[in-house]
Amino acid sequence: MKNLRPIPLAGLILGILILCIGVGLFCNCSSLVSSSPGIYTASLAGEPAFEGEMVIQDESSGVVPSRPELPVADFSAKKGAVTRFSVFFDGSLSEGSDLNYQWSFDDESILSSATPVKFYEGPVIGLVTLKVSNSFGSDSITKKLTVGKNGEVTVEQYDQREQIQKSPQNEPVPVIQEGNKTAPVNGVEADYLQKFFEGSQLLEQGNFAGAIDSFNESMRLNSSFSDAQYARGLAFFQLGYYNFYEFRGNDQFLLAVDDFSAVIKKDPENNGALIGRGAAWIYLGEYYSWRSYIANDSVFRYYEAGLRDFNKVLETDPDNIDALNGKAYASLVLGSGNPAKKSNSLLIDSAKKDAERSIRLNGENPRAHFILGLYYDHEGLYAAAIQEFSRAIELDPSEAWYFEWRGYEKLMKGDYADAIKDYSAAVSLKSRFAQAYNMRGATRAYLMNVNDRSPELSDFNQAIEINPSISDFYRNYALALANWKFWDKSLNEHAVDLLSRASELDPSDYRIFGDKAYLLTALNRNHEATENLIKFQQGSLTNEEKMMANDLLAYNNVEPWYSNTWG
């Protein structure tokens, strides 16, 4: 929420977020289910064999026959971006020309791509064998694969390689057994799976637009392929998350909600889709709350919808850390309320407990530390908040929001120079991080460098250039100008114009009318000052704010002297 300041869930998360929403089982699809229970496998379409070529001429030509390039098998594996337990294998470490690939797994499935993807339902320890071959021979290597409870992937050497130096020149591509349902068996199936895996790899690389195009094509070729729709939802979410650094992305979050909802309609127990939709609801709430100081009920309904999705996951998987993190964040926002909505201490306490439970389940969990830091910020415990944000940064130094929030805690403690360092670190990670520029400018304003205020003004300008639809950027810019040279008429008039633009963008922020009233009074524009004071008084929510309005109205000879604090 705006009064809490925007919060990245992420993991409910780019390199961050998929940790939150890629959880759970991949959608059941007959073309992807192996014969062994508990494991999902998939492969690119079988690739044609490439024949190696050897230049052989008679001795009179002066050409020496080339030496055979014997293949050497090797591969790596890493956590995939499609589901929590997806694994991307990469056989490009193998040496040799025109290689054919054959991957063998414990469930007897066989894949034939250089870079296949395999989907598991949960943690697993098993053996993976890669055999590479060309016209000069073949080589194989077996490694031990471990997929941990949070999807982390490790591979270890398992046996000594066995190289076969002599093989038929036209060694056939391995024949995939008929019983292996992971193998495409016709052109249409090969096409839609090929596009799906292309999209999955583009998603892993951060090419969200390209991934969406590939998933669109996969769905066009097979409209009932839920896996592609689920993956497209992930891509829309990640694109929205990336755009949210600019306080944009609502269109992508809405599209993500549509895709995840379609998957959930077919499979109501799909936890990955439920977490993805819950996260998208949360960010829609963030998007709209930043455009309204006093959020109406419709904004809170986004968080409530997200909370319902996270709770549904926890009903069947109570140790799901991504659902716990999402629930903790939604509860914290709803419990904190806003200037017009009373806070709920029970929800706030619940948020703390969920974040702490998430950390107990997995201490290497940056999102949970981050959310716990937000709880301490809400309680005014800035040192504790800094400690949690610092731990989140240790675990994931690539997330700019962690630095931005730690900078805010340092600002609240009065450590302005250190706060500016954190905001600068955030900007270096995300060059169009609008809020980091805004807060760095606000922090620089506290330093009150009368001789040169250009750095802070430049920061406000940059924030407005990135997103000219956020009222806070104009308000902070205006107050910085007014505080710089309060005696300068032209600067104050410019500040009034900036405040007018801020109130146009967010009429619910009654504070802006109070700011304008003070500046207009200083400019001897008393009638306009009185009009704005009345609006401020009508919108104010605390007795202190109402008395401030009465004081200034009395100064402008509107209220009688005995109705103000001077009496």
User: What is residue 222's three-state secondary structure?
Assistant: coil
Q: What whole-number distance in Å separates Cα of residue 517 and Cα of residue 501?
A: 15
Band (pLDDT 50/70/90 cuts) for residue 296 is: low
Band (pLDDT 50/70/90 cuts) for residue 7 is: very low
**Per-residue model confidence as pLDDT tens digits over 349-399:** 999 999 999 999 999 999 999 999 999 999 999 999 999 999 999 999 999
| pTM confidence score | 0.70
Q: For 489-563, where are the alpha helices, taking DSSP H only?
A: 489-505, 511-522, 526-539, 543-555
The Cα diameter of the chain in Å comes to: 118
Contact 139, 100 (CB under 8 A): no
Q: State the Cα torsion 155-158-163-168 to the nearest 10°.
A: -70
The CA-atom distances, in angstroms, between 277 and each of 236, 263, 272, 503 are 11, 10, 9, 33
Contact 221, 191 (CB under 8 A): yes
List the chain domain ranges: 36-51+67-170+179-183, 470-567
The stretch 9-17 carries a mean pLDDT of 34
Q: How many C-alpha atoms does 384 have within 13 Å on its Cβ side?
A: 12
User: How many CB atoms neighbour CB 564 within 10 A?
Assistant: 17
More confident residue, 45 or 517: 517
Based on the number of CB atoms within 10 Å of its own CB, is 457 exposed (0-12), middle (13-18) or buried (19 or more)? middle
Residue 51 backbone phi and psi in degrees, to 5: -85, 130
Residue 46, token pair as written in the block: 């079988």
**Per-residue model confidence as pLDDT tens digits over 335-350:** 988 766 778 899 999 9
Strands 137-147 and 153-157 come out as: antiparallel
Residues β-bridged to residue 126: 145
Position 22 pLDDT exceeds 80: no
Position 444 pLDDT exceeds 70: yes
Question: Which residues make Cβ contacts (< 8 Å) with residue 427, sequence separation at least 6?
Answer: 400, 433, 436, 437, 440
Position 91 pLDDT exceeds 60: yes
Q: What whole-number distance in Å separates Cα of residue 543 and Cα of residue 541?
A: 7
What architecture is domain 36-51+67-170+179-183? Sandwich (2.60)
**Per-residue model confidence as pLDDT tens digits over 500-525:** 999 999 988 889 998 998 899 888 88
Q: For 36-87, where are the alpha helices, taking DSSP H only?
A: none
Band (pLDDT 50/70/90 cuts) for residue 491 is: confident
Contact 180, 157 (CB under 8 A): no
What architecture is domain 470-567? Alpha Horseshoe (1.25)
Specify the range with the lowest mean pLDDT, choosing from 97-106, 136-145, 177-186.
177-186
pLDDT, residue 23, reads 29
pLDDT, residue 68, reads 58
Band (pLDDT 50/70/90 cuts) for residue 170 is: very low
The stretch 72-76 carries a mean pLDDT of 93
- Secondary element (H or E) of residue 461: helix 454-466
Concatenated DSSP letters for 430-447? -TT-HHHHHHHHHHHHHH
Contact 247, 287 (CB under 8 A): yes
Mean pLDDT across the chain: 80
pLDDT, residue 555, reads 67
